Structure 1
Amino acid sequence: MPQYDRFYFVELTKDLFGQTGVHRQWGRFGTWGRHRHDWYSTQAEAESALSDLVMQKLARGYLIKLPVSDD
């Protein structure tokens, strides 16, 4: 079974002025990695960009892992 030692994290985000964007962070496990924010005119554009990113990463072999709850 191959070992995957990289992560790719994406989320929708808003700034203090209400502008919607996509925050992404990637790198090797055990590091902070790199990050980038891309801002969009509308929430619909940001959601579309996020969806496209997820589809691209799934096509490259990344797996979806939901965050662990503190409950």
Structure 2
Amino acid sequence: MREVLTRIHLERHESDKNLHRFYQLHVTPGIFEDWALVREWGRVGSPGTVRKDWFETEEKALTARQRLVEAKQKKGYQSMG
């Protein structure tokens, strides 16, 4: 499986604040030789909000994905596999 198809799933739990959040990212090709970074976030167990950001190249989309992963990890999100 190519890296581009890999879905990154992060979660953040703070039981004392009743905070149970997820953040999911993946990169996928578009139909016009462009690439989408698809993000979904929300409360664990609920449907999330979805956003797509478009990039000219796969490399730019993967770079943006990595920046978001690092930013979320700084806020306490952990990879769930």
Given the two structures, how large is their TM-score scaled by the length of structure 1? 0.82
1:47 and 2:62 correspond: yes
Q: Which has the larger share of helix?
A: 2
- Identity level (%): 34
- Structure 1: 5+ residue stretches without partners: 67-71
Q: Offset of 1:6 from its aligned partner?
A: 0.6
1:15 and 2:59 correspond: no
What value does the CA root-mean-square deviation take over the aligned residues? 1.6
SS at the partner of 2:33? coil
SS at the partner of 2:78? coil
Q: Which has the larger share of strand?
A: 2
Q: Offset of 1:44 from its aligned partner?
A: 1.1
Contact 2:33–2:56 (8 Å) recurs in 1: no
Letter in 2 for 1:41: E
1:32 and 2:33 correspond: no
Q: Distance in 2 between the 1:54 and 1:20 partners?
A: 18
SS at the partner of 2:79? coil
Count how many residue pairs are aligned between Structure 1 and Structure 2. 66
